[in-house]
Amino acid sequence: MTALVVALAVVVALLTVLVVGLLRAHAEVLKALHELGLDDVLDPAVEGMRIRTRPGVARPRATGTRQGHDIVGSSVDGGAVQVAVVGVEHLTLVAFLSSGCLTCGTFWEAFADPGRRQLPGVDTRLVIVTKGPEAESPSRLAQLAPPGVTTVASSVAWDDYDVPVSPYFLLVDGVSGTIVGEGAAASWNQVRDLLGQAMADSGLTPDGRRSPASEATGVARDQRIDEELARAGIRPGDPRLFLPSAETETETRS
């Protein structure tokens, strides 16, 4: 009995030392963060710049699914045009470019070369979107628009997608109608890397199909279920989503 008490005392003493050590380490981390001026990281009530980016680089967006939009505007020859982005079977890479920005020049050149504009996914469609004629010179766009690439002038599309800066890229999954990935980059290779990563994160295989694993679990499964329910006319909150309770059923029968 004495031995058991002594053993328990030793265990309690060891645990006490361990807890004190952990608390001390935690305090040192807090102190170090405070000295670096990063107190906000620890305070969930503080809104705003948790992550600082270099000037000219777009800040990451808040997390969450964003919907894609069809692109309606004018073609470089002045005609009216709609490019279907949602409700289609393929991915669409929407490249928001302007005629004036220096970095955009890299992409205008890259897209003009069919050998360089390899896209993520097998049948991914590239669409270049500039601002409308009120903000861009139609004649300059006609010079820049790469042959073989759909180019649309549409300020509405910039607003729809809430584009923060040019150049800016969004990859939209036409089946789910959601934005798979987005961001700004300085070179076409960077864009391809970013989008490849975004596709993998979204459960899409490198050829742009949904991976079997993502179909069975996670966000992709949720999206698929939502899409199928929406096609059947069942929206969030629809009473058909809720099984009647035994009580209600009994009342209905009586």
Partner 1 sequence: MTTLTGHGLAVELPRGWDGAIFRRDPDPQERAAGGRETPVVHAANFPLPSDRGDFGSGAVEIMGRSGVLVCLVEYESASATTALFARRGLPRAIAPDDYATHTLQRPMAGQGGVQMFFHERDRAFCLYVVIGSHRRRRILAPVADGLLQGLRIT
Site string for partner 1, 174-193 (x = CB under 8 A): x-------------------
Nearer to partner 1, 12 or 84 (CB): 84
* Minimum separation from the CB atom of position 231 to partner 1 (A): 11
* Minimum separation from the CB atom of position 81 to partner 1 (A): 5
Structural contact between residues 96 and 161, judged by C-beta atoms closer than 8 angstroms: yes
* Minimum separation from the CB atom of position 125 to partner 1 (A): 5
Structural contact between residues 133 and 157, judged by C-beta atoms closer than 8 angstroms: no
Which part of the chain contacts partner 1 (CB under 8 A), choosing from 22-30, 72-80, 220-228, 242-250?
A: 72-80
State the virtual CA torsion across 92, 124, 152, 175 in degrees, nearest 10: -30
Nearer to partner 1, 74 or 99 (CB): 74
Structural contact between residues 32 and 41, judged by C-beta atoms closer than 8 angstroms: no
Interface positions, 122-151, toward partner 1 (CB under 8 A) = 125, 147-151
C-alpha distances out from residue 186 to 56, 59, 164, 191, 201, Å:
11, 15, 15, 8, 22
* Minimum separation from the CB atom of position 145 to partner 1 (A): 8
Question: Which one of residues 48, 55, 79, 212 is an interface residue with partner 1 (CB under 8 A)?
Answer: 79
Query: Is 214 a residue that touches partner 1 (CB under 8 A)?
Result: no
* Minimum separation from the CB atom of position 79 to partner 1 (A): 3
* Minimum separation from the CB atom of position 166 to partner 1 (A): 21
Which part of the chain contacts partner 1 (CB under 8 A), choosing from 12-20, 37-45, 80-88, 202-210?
A: 80-88
Residues across the chain: 254
C-alpha distances out from residue 49 to 53, 162, 163, 170, 184, Å:
9, 19, 19, 23, 18
Query: Is 80 a residue that touches partner 1 (CB under 8 A)?
Result: yes
Query: Is 231 a residue that touches partner 1 (CB under 8 A)?
Result: no
Q: Are strands 91-96 and 125-130 parallel, antiparallel or unpaired?
A: parallel
Radius of gyration of the chain, Cα coordinates, nearest whole angstrom: 27
* Minimum separation from the CB atom of position 128 to partner 1 (A): 10
Interface positions, 97-126, toward partner 1 (CB under 8 A) = 125
Chain residues in the site for partner 1 (CB under 8 A): 70, 72, 75, 77-84, 86-88, 90, 125, 147-151, 174
